[in-house]
Amino acid sequence: MRELVYPPVIKTAVGVFKALNIKFRLEGTDNIPSTGGAVLVSNHVSYLDFIFAGLAAHPAKRLVRFMAKKEIFDNRVGGPLMRGMHHIPVDRNAGASSYAAALKALKSGEIVGVFAEATISRSFTVKEIKSGAVRMAVASKVPLVPVALWGPQRMWTKGRKRRLLQRNVPVTILVGEPMYPKRGDDYEAVTQELHARMAELLEKAQREYPDVPRSDETWWQPAYLGGTAPTPEEAEKLDLEEAEARKAARAAREAGESGGQG
């Protein structure tokens, strides 16, 4: 597979991070296999997570093919970049094709990146995750590698203005030990174990983070550490309200389109 886009994108991103004096802490990167397929499963706190989760594989000289919602690929700016980096579009109305594309990549020796929470966690804790990542690893006979990110939410997250040019922001990237699920395992039990490992890594990243938010910046700290981010229960309610609003807007749009055709 020719890589005309991905390496320059990484080089540019690293240059920008250096200019902004982003303070990286990377641990456990030796858990990323140097060859062969793997499913990298990261938590999701910001719109920039695919960049930082991808950097977890950089020391191993590996590229990560992320599964991302189809709408990003439809964007006239982001779409060509995503396709050029051979990421995998996820169409929620045609999930089987996305799953098949991920399996093909894994079986050909690629690392596939998954944000198993599906959407950004407003509470900055690990939301409930589905068993899809486990099933992909089993079907492809590759390891699962948990990853925790902390810090990117300060630059751009759900419900907050972009602050992409902030300087001196610490970003923590922790990579956990691989898991090796196999056929015959209880996939739900393995998924719960994966969730527990991701949550443990994230809590470690949060508790050891070098910055403490100012009094007017406590929004980026989880509630359990005294921040003003929503609790998991509050975040779930907000997610449900947002989903209902999207559903209503889609229904209204479709009704308008059918009315116009009449």
The pTM (predicted TM-score) of the whole model is 0.94
Arithmetic mean of pLDDT, 185-213: 98
Q: Which helix (H) or strand (E) segment is 65 a member of?
A: strand 64-69
pLDDT on residue 260: 66
Among the listed residues 78, 76, 91, the one whose alpha carbon sits nearest the alpha carbon of residue 5: 78
Confidence tier at 1 by pLDDT (50, 70, 90): confident
pLDDT on residue 262: 56
For the sheet with 64-69, list strands across it.
Answer: 23-27, 170-175, 144-150, 38-42, 111-114, 64-69, 88-90
Among the listed residues 127, 124, 130, 115, the one whose alpha carbon sits nearest the alpha carbon of residue 39: 115
User: pLDDT for 84-139, tens place per residue?
Assistant: 999 999 987 777 899 999 999 999 999 999 999 999 999 999 999 999 999 999 99
Whole-number Å distance between alpha carbons of 18 and 57? 18
Whole-number Å distance between alpha carbons of 251 and 245? 10
Residue 3 φ then ψ, to 5°: -115, 85
